[in-house]
Amino acid sequence: MSTASAVLGSLALLAVVLSFGLLFFVALPVGLLAILLAVVARRKGMRAMVGLVTGALSTVLSLLVVGLIVAVVLFLDGLDLSGLPDGVRDGIPDDVLRELEGA
């Protein structure tokens, strides 16, 4: 169990770091599974610190990515484009402008 925890934790950490957070939906459940396996292994007297640490790191990084995505979506939802200069406003595609102004 401690080996499985270390492998899963390492894979989850690699997934979230190497993809710059884009694979958070994979890394989050795998990291949580690594933590679960590490806790069970430690209760049985095995050493599972690597799985616990890498699982926790990947979980925390995945949750930070989720929080960042939510913050960006909330920021873009309340964005007021009426005060933008015409040069900047012309660079935004019309369908994106209509969607942002209609929301």
Is the separation of the CB atoms in 70 and 41 below 8 Å? Answer: no
Both tokens of 96, joined, read: 């994106």
CA dist., res. 88 & res. 91, Å (int)? 5
pLDDT: which is higher, 17 or 81: 17
Looking up tokens 């459940």, which residue turns up?
A: 29
| pLDDT tens profile 21-71 | 889 999 999 999 999 999 999 999 888 899 999 999 999 999 999 999 988
Domain spans, the chain: 2-102
> What pLDDT sits at residue 91?
80
